[in-house]
Amino acid sequence: MANIQDWLSLTRWPVVAPLALTMFAAPACTNASSSAAEEAPVLTTFTVLADMTRNVAGDEFDVVSLTRPGAEIHSYEPTPDDLVRGQDAHLILANGLGLEAWFTQFTDQIDAPTATLSDGVETIPIAEGAHEDQANPHAWMSPDNAHTYVDNIRDALTDLAPENAATFESNAEAYKAEISEVGEYLSTELDTLPEEHRALVTCEGAFSYLARDAGLREQYLWPVNAETEATPRQVASTVGFVEDNDVPAVFCESTVNDDAQRQVAEETGARLGGELYVDSLSKTDGPVPTYLDLLRHDAETIVAGLTEQERP
């Protein structure tokens, strides 16, 4: 195993590093270690993947997300506790496509097997900026791609516990049927948009897959959440798009600051159409506690915003 103390110091955790090292050095039979294993036998990098995985795993495994509801995944920095959870995990599931820039360094410190859930999807390249021509990482925003995610989850769990293969297969097929049903609902909702309103303007370029599937024109302030705020050029470009296309409403995602999008709305007269969810689910008492809720919420919010209606 690589030197964990070195990695902790690189990630600015010198004060808590000795505690983390002590926890790693504890025997596997200690209460702390066994408790962590019970809490996080299967670990995912963020909440959307955790919900998908729970639907396939059923009662066979507990599933835990590294990030909490509402957290931003792009700029996330794993904590010493995350390292402990990773070391105790049976399996770690990640999105891939560069979403978790920290993932390789994180998994270099632990022994658990990993799987990349976006493997096999047809990606869309990022059109501009520092990440130009790299794959847009938000592939789960297409229900069709979500089927591939579910298949990859099923396969990873089956490799981990082949004696439960039939359960994972059955759960995966049932969940894919639910995803298809929500995908049809999403398409039906977005198909109601008149041609002149079929433009989706967001803070992050996280809706490329949904826009492709639904036939929407897409505009965004920044391609990926790697920057803390929009540049004047990005704001001006978005203002021009909204004015040229007479876009009635603009949107922003739940995990980012919407100040720049508010500026776009003020300069163009467009409305803020509502909060969309992409990189994180909400808490259980929030609007999108599950991935299927996320898809429904976003479709309804987009349609209501662009048609100046109230959400159902």
Q: What is the pLDDT of residues 170-213, one digit of tens each?
A: 999 999 999 999 999 999 999 999 888 899 999 988 999 999 99
Structure-block tokens of residue 2: 């690589």
Of residues 10 and 297, more confidently modeled: 297
Task: Give bridge partners of residue 204 from the DSSP assignment.
Answer: 222
Give Cα 53 distance to the centre of its chain. 13
One-letter amino acid of 201 = V
Q: What is the pLDDT of residues 146-171, one digit of tens each?
A: 999 999 999 999 999 999 999 999 99
Domains of the chain (ranges; CATH) run 4-118+128-182 (3.40.50.1980), 194-306 (3.40.50.1980)
Residue 309 has pLDDT above 80, yes or no: no
At residue 132's C-alpha, the angle toward residues 129 and 138, to 5°, is 100
Instruction: With CA atoms as reference, report the closest residue to 270 among 230, 308, 309.
Output: 308
**Mean of the per-residue pLDDT values for the chain?**
85
Widest distance between CA atoms in the chain: 65
Q: Averaging pLDDT over each range in 31-45, 101-115, 140-154, 193-207, which range is the top one?
A: 140-154
Residue 184 to residue 170: CA distance in whole angstroms: 21
